[in-house]
Amino acid sequence: MPTLIADNGASSTPMHALRPADWPSFRETLPPGARRFAESVQFEPKPGRHLLLPGEGGALESVVFIEDPKKSEAERAFARGGLASLLPPGAYRFEGEDGDLALVAFAWLADAYRFEAYRSKENGPRARLVVPKGANSARVERLASAIAFGRDLINTPANDLAPDGLEAAARELASKFGASFEATIGDALLDANLPMIHAVGRASATPPRLIDFSWGDEAAPKVTLIGKGVTFDTGGLNIKPDAAMLLMKKDMGGAATALAAARMIMGENLPVRLRVLVPAVENAISGASFRPGDVLRSRKGLTVEIGNTDAEGRLILADALALADVESPELMVDFATLTGAARVALGPDLPAFYATDDDFAGQVLELGVRINDPVWRLPFWAPYDEMLTSRIADVSHISSTPFAGSVTAALFLKRFVEKARIYAHFDLFAWTPTARAGRPQGGEAQVARLIFETIEHRFGASG
């Protein structure tokens, strides 16, 4: 059910976004009955609280929402959008519209998202927002739909989204926008010189594959997005404990992010030559599993000693990066639910990112704050490269120490990139553990909006 509606003159309930200091004077403007109601419920104007005010006949007359003046404009926009899941069904509009109105509308749609594919009965009607004046509702809805698409992929359990299911979703997306599509599956990966993708996924009953599609003018700047597509991660022979395995359907969150961002880029017809690569595997356990101590040969030719089979994501990304790098893209970005170290350092809500270009990194940081899709830059710290030294191979794929796990993983990936003009790596969680405004609990396509906005700012909008 759509939750944005046009202002066609129909009745809608006004919402007033106030700062705590505004409440006393606003309260005096209320009709006597509404003022008495606020007093009777002992409403305190603390940030994040809202109040439903009745009219003389008892029906809902208006809504008061208290904003936090210490928050940024983007955070306040998301807080307003969070009313979508707090208000009863009906039509609403913001009075005295100000701030980033498009972001308010986006946050409203993002907050209203529900994953209901496995419910026998859908939730009932939801609160609907009159599109704020000046907001491009069509664009907002396209961006929100792309985020919902990414969330749906992450939330879908692994029994219904194995590597072949991820391929089907990517194929449908490519077809929708007229992109060329190719999938390299099973032993064909060996013929295509993608040996590490094959090694990681060969133990599964569903063969591993590389999903590859391209869209846009071939003469336009080349932008390549790569997403880690581990549809379930047991840890392999270094098997995870049960608590660590519970959420591993989300280990394809990097792929979901790449696909969501691609949907935005194609939907807004950005002037780029887009390529999307998703190495899709299940890290399962069988007699065909790769082992700790194995030495794998990569597409790039480097030999890689396996220290732990639960660090599989960087292996499949390495082959995809080496393949994409040959084209010398203007921008190459990978997304991956890669390390617990990044989560220990930054928590679930703040993805770590790395970039080889300071100007690009600065733009990412600035836009992240502006659109409330924040990240934190960590360094490709070259002295830590020695932590990946192997005694028997060209490189070990995990560090020899317990320190700087996200940094050493990023350095491992960077070894497979030589020709891309700008390379960036995002180490994300792809999950919201506790619901917040605009971010329901569950799968989250973190940084999809951010990379879309960055590409749009960097290479221009359509037309």
Q: In DSSP terms, which residues pair with 352 in a beta bridge?
A: 376, 427
φ/ψ (deg, to 5) at 404: 50, 45
What average pLDDT does the chain have? Answer: 96
Weakest-pLDDT range from 113-117, 130-134, 181-185, 244-248: 130-134
Domain ranges in the chain with CATH number 3.40.630.10 = 141-459
Banded pLDDT at 217 (limits 50, 70, 90)? very high
Q: For residue 30, is pLDDT > 70?
A: yes
The string of pLDDT tens digits covering residues 350-397 is 999 999 999 999 999 999 999 999 999 999 999 999 999 999 999 999
Question: SS3 string of 259-300?
Answer: HHHHHHHHHCCCCCEEEEEEEEEEECCCCCCCCCCCEEECCC
Domain ranges in the chain with CATH number 3.40.220.10 = 4-135
Mean pLDDT for 128-150 is: 94
Banded pLDDT at 460 (limits 50, 70, 90)? confident
Helices (H), 371-430: 405-414
Nearest CA among 193, 189, 195 for reference residue 211: 189
CATH number of 4-135: 3.40.220.10
Helices (H), 347-442: 358-370, 405-414
**How far is CA 361 from its chain centroid?**
18
Q: Which residue has the tokens 């003469």?
A: 219
Q: Which residues are catalytic?
A: 240, 314
Query: Token digits for 347?
Result: 């928590």
Class for domain 141-459, per CATH? alpha beta
| CA angle centred on 194, ends 448 and 245, rounded to 5° | 55
Classify the phi-psi angles of 169: left when phi > 0, otherwise alpha if psi is within -120 to 50, otherwise beta: alpha
Q: In DSSP terms, which residues pair with 283 in a beta bridge?
A: 233
Query: Token digits for 218?
Result: 């071939």
Q: For residue 9, is pLDDT > 70?
A: no
Q: For residue 116, is pLDDT > 80?
A: yes
Distance CA 331, CA 420 (A): 6
Given CA atoms 66, 72, 77, 78 in this order, what sign does their dihedral have?
negative
Q: For residue 276, is pLDDT > 60?
A: yes
Distance CA 334, CA 353 (A): 10
Q: For residue 99, is pLDDT > 90?
A: no
Percent of the chain beyond pLDDT 90?
92
Distance CA 64, CA 23 (A): 9
Banded pLDDT at 462 (limits 50, 70, 90)? low
